[in-house]
Structure 1
Amino acid sequence: MARFNEIGTAIIPGQGTKLRLLQRNDEFAIKIAGNTGELMNTRLHGSEDALATLACKRIAKHSKAKVLIGGMGMGFTLAAALDSLGDDAEVTVAELVPEVVDWNRGPLGAASGYPLNDSRTKIHLGDVAQLMQQQERAYDAIMLDVDNGPEGLTRKENDWIYSPEGIAQAKSALKPKGILAYWSAGEDPIFTARLRKAGLQVKAETVRAHKPGKGAKHIIWLAW
């Protein structure tokens, strides 16, 4: 079997952690330098798709839907959101690492169908927290996949997203009848309780990393 070759690196701002983009034939993976595990792989994106499809199902009847996605990843959540929304929708992706956007504009983007080329897509180079703090009642859906979940892995600052203050800010950035969606690598009953304490109705969906119905079990929280 062919080996992965490193074709790109990037430093996460404020953290110093290095990301590595690897390629093996038409398969890509992103890893943290010094860590043997993968952050993401183009073969395993079922749960990233589900983050968008489950949330967009809740806003299917909203005209001119405005969506905010925290984390570009490998583009699969963005692609699934665009596939689920109408021609009048607007999807903003907030990505902290500029190189990740560049990778998605390059060869990596073929795996998700180059959703950055869609006219409905907007890119914000920066922290998704900044956008949520600047906006009030702006989005029909906010989808957050900025780390491994409430138990952060890549960046300590991401913990704010899952804090009571972060949840309250996300809630205030939603339009009436909007939906919050959070991706996580695993279950976290404490976070479920935190969402409910914020006055939100919550549904935790178990989804699989690989389609159809295969791979590791991940969690999508839907909160409204």
Structure 2
Amino acid sequence: MPVPAPHLEPVTLDRRDGPYGEVVLRQRGERLEIIANGCFLMDTSDGRSERLLIDAALAALPGDRRRPAVLVGGLGVGFSLAHAAAEPRWGRIVVVERERAVIDWHEDGPLRRISGAALADPRAVILHTDLVEYLRTTTDRYDALCLDIDNGPEWTVTEDNENLYSPDGLAACRARLNPGGVLAVWSANPSPAFAEALGNAGFSGVRAEEIQVARGVPDVVHLAVRTA
């Protein structure tokens, strides 16, 4: 995860109070940052790990999968959506985002510079809803779930998000995947416990891909496959 540059003072562009707490959009030099309940989530400085989240899921799919459907959990600063929309092999691209403010910042605000072309793509749709609730209630199926709603399974933004990484939450993820579908989960830290939980939930091919960062431990994308 990028670390805010300490020598630049942030400027608050928008601040909202919502059902899950406070969410803030800040600018620090050229960077735009999203802060949730005082926790730094992400900024526009890089995007390598968000792109890997999409690429690793696509690469793990069977080679004969045509126009696979992808669910992106968390709109964030828009790197994952923009990268998915730039790839013609994807079919339907659905983004689930629970914060109305984040959606507004993309549709009519400063983050449109990243996601504008993707939002105009007819394959792409944004759903304003909670990811955990959506996974448990929808009947839609996907070939890939690319989830990035926390700093990782062991560092959640809100307590409710812990349900996503629980046995019930992983079962819901598995149910939403077509056979051979891929679950990809972004994390700011490697999590052997989460890898074990994926295996216990009936996924196969569990592995992690690392992205080196300037300081600290690597970012990680946990990958797992739903077998038939």
Check whether TM > 0.5.
Answer: yes
Structure 2 residue 66 is matched with structure 1 residue 63:
yes
Deviation of residue 21 (structure 1)? 0.5
Residues 87-141 of structure 1, C-alpha deviations (whole Å, 9 max, x = no match): x711110000011011112221213554222221111101112322234571000
RMSD: 2.1
Give the match for residue 182 of structure 1.
185
Q: Cα offset for 1:215? A: 5.4
1:131-182, CA deviations, whole angstroms, 9 ceiling, x for partnerless residues? Answer: 2223457100011111111123321110011001111110011011110000
Instruction: Name 2:27's counterpart in structure 1.
Output: 23
Residue 32 of structure 1 and its aligned partner are, at CA, apart by 3.4
Match of 2:4 in 1: none
Q: Using the alignment, how far apart are the partners of 1:11 and 1:83 within structure 2?
A: 33
Q: Is 1:4 aligned to 2:18, yes or no?
A: no
Unpaired segments of 5 or more residues in structure 2?
Answer: 1-6
- Identify unmatched segments of 5+ residues in structure 1: none
When residues 34 and 67 of structure 1 are mapped into structure 2, their CA distance, relative to the original with a 3 A threshold, is closer
Tell me the matched-pair count. Answer: 215
Asked whether the equivalents of residues 11 and 97 of structure 1 are also in contact (C-alpha less than 8 Å), the reply is no
Identity percentage of aligned residues: 34
Partner of 1:84: helix, strand, or coil?
Answer: coil
* Higher deviation after alignment, 125-134 or 54-63: 54-63
SS for the counterpart of 1:154 is: coil
* Runs of 4+ with deviation above 3 angstroms: 32-35, 111-114
The amino acid of 1:96's aligned partner reads R
Q: Which amino acid aligns with 2:12?
A: E
Within 2, Cα distance between the matches of 1:107 and 1:115?
15
- Deviation of the 1:33 alpha carbon: 5.0
Question: Structure 2: which amino acid aligns with 1:3?
Answer: E
TM-score where L is the length of structure 2: 0.85
In the other structure, the counterpart of 1:170 is 173
The alignment's TM-score, normalised by the length of structure 1, stands at 0.87
